[in-house]
Amino acid sequence: MSKKGASFRAKGEKPDALAALQAANEELRAKLTDIQIELQQEKSKASKLEREKNQEARQIKEHEQHKNTVIVTELKAKLHEEKMKELQGVREGLLRQHEAELLRVIKIKDNEIQRLQTLLNAVRDGTPDKVKTVLYSEAKEEAKKGFEVEKIKMQQEILELKGAKKQVEEALSVVIQADKIKAAEIRSVYHLHQEEITRIKRDCDREIRRLMEEIKFKDRAVYVLEKELGVQAGHTQRLQLQKEALDEQLSQLREADRHLSSPKREVPHPSGAGDTSDHSGSPLDERDARRFQLKIAELSAIIRKLEDRNALLSEERNELLKRVREAESQYKPLLDKNKRLSRKNEDLSHTLRRMENKLKFVTQENLEMRQRVRTIRRPSSLNDLDQNQDEREVDFLRLQIMEQQNIIDELSKTLETAGYVKSVIERDKLLRYKKQRKKFAKFPKKPVVETFFGYDEEASLESDGSSISYQTDRTDQTPCTPDDDLEEGMAKEETELRFRQLTMEYQALQRAYALLQEQVGGTLDAEREVKTREQLQAEIQRSQAQIEDLEKALAEQGQDMKWIEEKQALYKRNQELVEKIKQMEIEEARLKHDVQDAKDQNELLEFRILELEERERRSPAINFHHIPFTEGKSPLQVYCEAEGVTDILVAELMKKLDILGDNAVSNLTNDEQVVVIQARTVLTLAEKWLQQIEVTESALQQKMIDLENEKDLFSKQKGYLDDELDYRKQSLDQAHKHILELEAMLYDALQQEAGAKMSEILSEEEREKLKNAVEQWKRQVMSELRERDSQILRERMEHIQHAQQRIKELEERIEAQKRQIKELEEKLSFFGHSVSIQLQEPREKTRNVYLLGQCNLVYNKEIGEKTISLQESGLQFILTLKTEVLNF
């Protein structure tokens, strides 16, 4: 009974334990779900707090960004105003300076006009005789003063020239003595070198002959050994063939023995006669076999001996081949030396031509100096120059001629040596050509038979048994014999020795030439001498003209001398004009260089524009349409309202999603709650992305406004530059007119004042020539100035046209960007309906926005550079106009 009760008790306790376990499990599950819900709520609260913090930070950041943008725009406006003020100040300063310069020039010209007018009035009012006497006395006094001053100066110059001449003569005597000493030393050294060279040549010739004989002997030995080797190889080949024939005969005899022995086996009891015949045949066969075996042994012994000899001959042949290769390797540097010698020969021929040209030049100069000595004429009336001085100068010129004659003799010697070098080179070429012809003439040889180890010239090898010719199809002709190679080596050695001799002679010539240059003083540069000669001739002509003028003045001594001063003033004026023309040419070259640089820069900018257009074409067309986001309003709400969906409030929707995600009592499962939380995070990310787009959009719009402002400023500056250009052109034309009027008045005054004097001195033809020359000079100067002005105006107009074209292109791009912004706004308007699709594209669109911003930055930079370059070109143009007016 007790057992049954225990079993019933155990059965009753089991369901209770299971129920308790199930209840505990349910409680644990409920606790787990509560904990999960609490965890999710905590997560949502944490995310909410983080979101609120991010929103606050974003608002603070946006506020600061807005402040910074305002500050940046204010700073830009201030900088722009400061730049404009500075430009205005510079412009006003330049205008003031230009006006002051113009006023100064006008004052100077007015003073000159007044002075000339007073002179004209005095001439008209006073009697001509009084004026003539006054002018004549003034001119006479001025001429006397000038003549005295010139006389003192010329006397001082003559004394200085005498002292310098003495010093030069002393230095020349010292140099001539040193030159003679050096020439004697050089001759002695040259003779010693020649003796040494001849001795070395003899030793080298002996050594070369000895070496060539040894090489010939060795080549002959090699040739004989190769021939013997070929013969032995043919003999061994013949013995080998004989051995093969004997082997075939032995095999035939053995087969015959087998055939003879086979009937005995078939017939067991043959007749007696047959037995005797067999017994008699077998001894004969055995004898033949023994004889054949002995012969084979002898042949094998002979073959072994021949093989040993062939091995020795092959070793000797290999050694000879090695020697041949070594000889070829030794010949290679000789060939290289030959090439180098040919190059040096060409260089020597070039130097010879140069020396011939120098000799011609020096001879021509000598002839000119002789003619000058013959036709030299020194004025005796100027500054009391006596005949002794003329004789001294003639002696000095004779010394110069003697020195030049010595130089010509030395150059002729060098030319003779160079001619000798040339003849030696030609002789070497002829020898080489003859040897090549001999070599080609020796080419046809006997057909060579190729043996086992070499070549043999005999067509066949005879022996006592049979004649075997081991001849292949590779029959060829030998390229050359060893004698020809030796002759070629001898020729190379001879050319090398001759080249060494020539190089030594050339070095000696170079040393002599350097010493000659040191003695003469400086390098003998023909171009420099021509230039110095031209300068000296020009100075001589100028001094001769002055001397003639002074002689005429001294001869007249009482007549009017003012025309000499006028002539000197005109000459000075011509020199100044020539210098001005040179300066203008330099300035023109500089301006051309600047224009070329500007053109290159324009080409680079055009290339950059094409690159940007190509990039813009490749990149997708993206742009935004700006929707103003009010503060406190979500961008998603704004887009929904823009699309006409006013029933949805994004803020309430976010709150409801928070409640759904945070509500623990709701009937949603865990997966549904996770989906709701993910949807809310997606919406927050979309809102962030839209805010970023808003920031970039506002920045782009600000850039567009800045670009438009800069475009307006640029157009204003262009208009101002056009006005400035017109004003400068008008002022330049007025200055031209005024200058022409002043020149005409001055010319009339000079004609009226000095007409009588010039009529007495000049003839009618000379007066006409003078008038024509003056008018031609005026026309030439005016045409050059007009051409230059027109060229400058054309360049400036081209710059302005390029700038206008660039402005139009930038305006078109701005319009295209606006259109792209509108298109992109239309694309982004579908964001409220398809959030998931839009979230797949944020990276690409942000990249495109970044590219658009970079393009705008590049355009902004190019516009700024263009405006700065145009401002600089405008200022440069104003400065050039100012310099031209001042020159006038």
pLDDT in tens, 309-347: 778 887 877 888 787 778 777 767 777 777 777 777 777
Position 841 scores a pLDDT of: 44
Position 612 scores a pLDDT of: 67
pLDDT in tens, 180-217: 887 788 888 878 877 888 788 788 778 778 777 877 78
DSSP secondary structure of 51-62: HHHHHHHHHHHH
Q: Give CA separation, 726 vs 435, 721, 723, in Å.
A: 86, 9, 5
As a whole number of angstroms, the distance between CA 360 and CA 355 comes to 9
Identify whether the C-beta of residue 155 lies closer than 8 Å to the C-beta of residue 383: yes
Kindly report each contact of residues 857-865 with a partner whose C-beta sits within 8 Å and lies 24 or more positions away, as own/partner: 857/703, 858/608, 858/612, 859/612, 859/707, 859/810, 859/813, 860/703, 860/706, 860/707, 860/710, 862/605, 862/608, 862/609, 862/806, 862/810, 863/707, 863/710, 863/711, 863/714, 863/810, 864/710, 865/605
Position 388 scores a pLDDT of: 54
* DSSP 8-state secondary structure symbol assigned to residue 628: P
Position 526 scores a pLDDT of: 55
pLDDT in tens, 66-89: 888 888 888 888 888 888 888 888
Position 643 scores a pLDDT of: 63
> Can you tell me the mean pLDDT for 498-519?
70
64 C-beta neighbours (distance < 10 Å), count: 10
- Give the range among 493-502, 546-555, 754-763 with minimum mean pLDDT: 754-763
Position 581 scores a pLDDT of: 78
Q: How confident is the model at residue 846 (pLDDT cuts 50, 70, 90)?
A: very low
> Can you tell me the mean pLDDT for 828-854?
46
- Which among 165, 238, 574 has a CA at the least distance from the CA of 394? 165
Q: How confident is the model at residue 219 (pLDDT cuts 50, 70, 90)?
A: confident
> Can you tell me the mean pLDDT for 44-60?
88
Asked whether residue 177 carries a pLDDT value surpassing 80, the answer given is: yes
Position 425 scores a pLDDT of: 62
Q: How confident is the model at residue 636 (pLDDT cuts 50, 70, 90)?
A: low
State the DSSP H helix or E strand holding residue 566, giving kind and residue range, or none if neither. Answer: helix 562-618
pLDDT in tens, 249-306: 777 777 777 766 554 444 344 344 444 444 444 566 677 777 777 877 878 788 888 8
- Give the range among 337-351, 479-493, 782-796 with minimum mean pLDDT: 479-493
Position 28 scores a pLDDT of: 86
Position 871 scores a pLDDT of: 46
> Can you tell me the mean pLDDT for 676-685?
70
Identify whether the C-beta of residue 537 lies closer than 8 Å to the C-beta of residue 372: no
* DSSP 8-state secondary structure symbol assigned to residue 455: E
- Give the range among 549-563, 590-604, 713-727 with minimum mean pLDDT: 549-563
Highest mean pLDDT pick, 20-34, 481-495, 663-677: 20-34
Q: How confident is the model at residue 175 (pLDDT cuts 50, 70, 90)?
A: confident
Position 460 scores a pLDDT of: 39
3-state secondary structure of 158: helix
As a whole number of angstroms, the distance between CA 37 and CA 677 comes to 13
Identify whether the C-beta of residue 662 lies closer than 8 Å to the C-beta of residue 44: yes
Position 10 scores a pLDDT of: 52
The pLDDT mean for the chain works out to: 68
> Can you tell me the mean pLDDT for 375-383?
46
pTM for the structure as a whole: 0.21
Position 295 scores a pLDDT of: 76
Position 697 scores a pLDDT of: 78
As a whole number of angstroms, the distance between CA 193 and CA 498 comes to 15
The token duo for 542 is: 């100028």
Asked whether residue 647 carries a pLDDT value surpassing 70, the answer given is: no
- Which among 447, 455, 445, 449 has a CA at the least distance from the CA of 467? 449
pLDDT in tens, 402-448: 766 666 666 666 666 656 555 666 666 666 656 555 554 444 444 44
- State the burial class of residue 639 (Cβ atoms within 10 Å of its Cβ: 0-12, 13-18, 19+): buried
Q: Which residue has the higher pLDDT, 150 or 670?
A: 150
- State the burial class of residue 234 (Cβ atoms within 10 Å of its Cβ: 0-12, 13-18, 19+): buried
Q: Which residue has the higher pLDDT, 774 or 165?
A: 165
Position 380 scores a pLDDT of: 43
Asked whether residue 628 carries a pLDDT value surpassing 60, the answer given is: no
For residue 449, the cross-strand partners are 456
As a whole number of angstroms, the distance between CA 96 and CA 80 comes to 24
> Can you tell me the mean pLDDT for 509-515?
70
- Give the range among 363-377, 393-407, 625-639, 814-828 with minimum mean pLDDT: 625-639
- Which among 428, 364, 362 has a CA at the least distance from the CA of 420? 428
Strands 449-450 and 455-456: antiparallel
Asked whether residue 723 carries a pLDDT value surpassing 80, the answer given is: no
Q: How confident is the model at residue 166 (pLDDT cuts 50, 70, 90)?
A: confident
Position 428 scores a pLDDT of: 63
Alpha helices in 267-386 (DSSP H): 272-374
For residue 456, the cross-strand partners are 449
Identify whether the C-beta of residue 645 lies closer than 8 Å to the C-beta of residue 831: no
As a whole number of angstroms, the distance between CA 146 and CA 140 comes to 10
Identify whether the C-beta of residue 683 lies closer than 8 Å to the C-beta of residue 636: yes
Asked whether residue 862 carries a pLDDT value surpassing 60, the answer given is: no
Q: How confident is the model at residue 490 (pLDDT cuts 50, 70, 90)?
A: low
pLDDT in tens, 516-526: 666 655 455 55
